[in-house]
Amino acid sequence: MTERRRTDPLPLGGDEPYSKGLMARALMRVGVSAVRAYELARRVEKDLLDGKKDSIELDRVQDLAVEVLGDGEGEKAAGRLRRYRDLQELDLPIIVLIGGATGTGKSTVATEVAYRLGITRVTSTDFVRQTLRAFFSPAFMPSIHYSSFEAGKGLKSAEEEEVDPLLHGFLDQTRNVLVGVDAAIERSLAEGWSTVLEGVHLVPGMLAPIKDALVVQCVLAIESEEAHASHFWIRDLASDGLRPLDRYLDRLSDIRYLQDYIVERAEKEGVPVIDNRQREGATSEVMELVLSAADTLQKVG
């Protein structure tokens, strides 16, 4: 297998000299706040200087973490560092798939998860859909030329009369987009690259099986309709109005209808559903899924 390209190995017990910056980043990736992470990294650096050493073992980091962060937080941080190290040592690319309806915070969580895992490739199914639009005309593939909650407009009138146009249009669009998604994943695996992929089209049970990789799939959802609407307000501010707020709020009921369908599929397929009430909490839950999957592979191996 082609060597998997990753970044920032843990500065623990290796041939390279200790790096305070790498240690702080590693600690932040496992959920330690930036201030506390640099505080502990400085404490580790002092311990190395006092002992005239260039590297440190994880057991010693745990002792120092308990000293700086306290018993509970210190042991938790050290435990996650240990699991993160084991994850890095797996000779497999990591594929993280984050699905969910429009406005559930997928791209934000995906970017943060990629950072914590040291993965440099993050893409979206919307990017795949946009690429398909450039190659296939509305006459040939109509559904991809609409948003996920408007794809029913691309259906022929006979199809509209036969089935639910909102859901049928979304599923037609999803099947088309997943052809490109499958190709992107195959290329990633061929190159040995780890990837975080997010998008509404990552519907549980509709993706092709993925082999020779550590695969983690989950779905983000927002239980409260009010909280869901607030995500669009935040996104409108962040994009300077490039994504029209009223368009999403006017179709919120349709968006949440698709969310209900995706969540139902996830529950049927045994895919974890994470309520994204708060970004840090959702990110930590996705990270725990990745680390748990790695733990399982370690035990099987």
pLDDT tens by residue, 54-106: 778 888 899 999 999 999 999 988 988 888 888 888 888 999 999 999 999 99
Could you read off the pLDDT of 159-198 as tens digits, one per residue? 555 568 899 999 999 999 999 999 999 999 999 999 999 9
Give me the residue label for tokens 């994880």.
58
Would you say the pTM of this structure is higher than 0.75? Answer: yes
Q: What does the CA dihedral 48, 49, 52, 53 come to, rounded to 10 degrees? A: 30
Closest by alpha carbon to 229, among 212, 253, 213? 253
Lookup: tokens for 21 = 């910056």
CB of 129 closer than 8 Å to CB of 201: yes
Closest by alpha carbon to 248, among 229, 269, 271, 267? 229
Q: What is the pLDDT of residue 16?
A: 61
Could you read off the pLDDT of 216-270 as tens digits, one per residue? 999 999 999 999 998 888 776 766 655 678 888 999 999 999 999 999 999 999 9
CB of 65 closer than 8 Å to CB of 31: no
Element (H, E) at 122: strand 122-124
